[in-house]
Amino acid sequence: MSASLSAASFAAALPAAHEAAASQHYPQGALYVVATPIGNLADITLRALHVLALVDAVACEDTRHTQQLLRAYGMDRPAAQLLALHQHNEAQASAAVIERLRLGQRIAYVSDAGTPAISDPGARLVAAVREQGLRVLPLPGASSVTTALSAAGLSEGGFVFEGFLPVKATERVHAVEALARETRAVVLLEAPHRIEVLAQALAVLGERPVTVARELTKQFEEIATVPAGQLPAWLDQAPQRQRGEFVLVLHAAPLAADAGADLRVLRLLLAELPLKTAVKLAAEITGTARNSLYEAALAIKQQA
């Protein structure tokens, strides 16, 4: 969708936002942390539109991306009112934002998509602003984390947000072993060029369900729940399944507290014995189902 077509589609949104939100109080010298859509532009809130038009400047992860987003809603800010603040300059840029706040300016902060300071930059900015005794006002909205959770069908037990697992293979193996012991659901994020590696790493968890959410809120959105051991095969079934941004919800398992120890036993046995023998002994030692251990053993061998 081009910026001009987007602006035409949202022509009525900005006046409606002002009418709905203008009567509220928006203090000066405050940082407004604004959630933006994760894909579908219609997922912006009326209050977010009003604030993005009201503030003196917008600090953002990518100025070009944010300029396109603002233009889609009928706003066109001068380049001087867009302040780059990303993971590589967060400390320095935060100091500049704080100086503006001390002058009484209203500053909004947006990441490229979703709610800032969750897995995107912004947390250091918020902490620095609070340390200076200045106000931080969050504007809730779209989040890939809560969007995926709402479609995963979790009924109890809570969840943990883990984000991106380590890139290095050894660290990733240890991280998965820790996840196996986690008794709550775990939310993971991954980029398309690493999704196959993550799928192989999670495959050792066997029958534990994983909800895969790809391209959330976009035209080719896809959400499916599969056993962790079958995740690599699911990705290979269609080329498009390895495209787009991913959120994965690793469901809680009844034996999750012992799963990490089970995997360690299995790894030790596999280092000395043939696969079938190692699986048989691991099942006898741990009491875990042999089929689940067999799938985990295949995934461990494939990683090796």
Domain count, the chain: 2
Domain closes at, from 142, 167, 199: 142
CATH of the domain at 78: 3.40.1010.10
- Are 162 and 132 within one domain? no
In angstroms, the CA 172 to CA 160 distance is 17
Q: Is the dihedral of CA 280, 282, 284, 289 positive or negative?
A: negative
Token digits of residue 168: 């290095």
Average pLDDT, the chain: 91
Q: pLDDT per residue over 114-140, tens digit each?
A: 999 988 889 999 999 999 999 999 999
Exposed/middle/buried for residue 302 (C-beta within 10 Å: 0-12, 13-18, 19+): exposed
- Are 199 and 284 within one domain? yes
Residue 132 main-chain phi, psi, to 5 deg: -85, 5
Q: Under a CB-based contact definition with an 8 Å cutoff, are residues 144 and 114 in contact?
A: yes
In angstroms, the CA 119 to CA 164 distance is 8
- Residue 184 belongs to what domain range? 145-303
Q: pLDDT per residue over 73-120, tens digit each?
A: 999 899 999 999 998 898 899 999 999 999 999 999 999 999 999 888
Q: pLDDT per residue over 19-57, tens digit each?
A: 999 999 999 999 999 999 999 999 999 999 999 999 999
Q: What is the pLDDT of residue 3?
A: 44
- Are 78 and 190 within one domain? no
Mean pLDDT of 274-298: 85
Domain closes at, from 142, 163, 183: 142
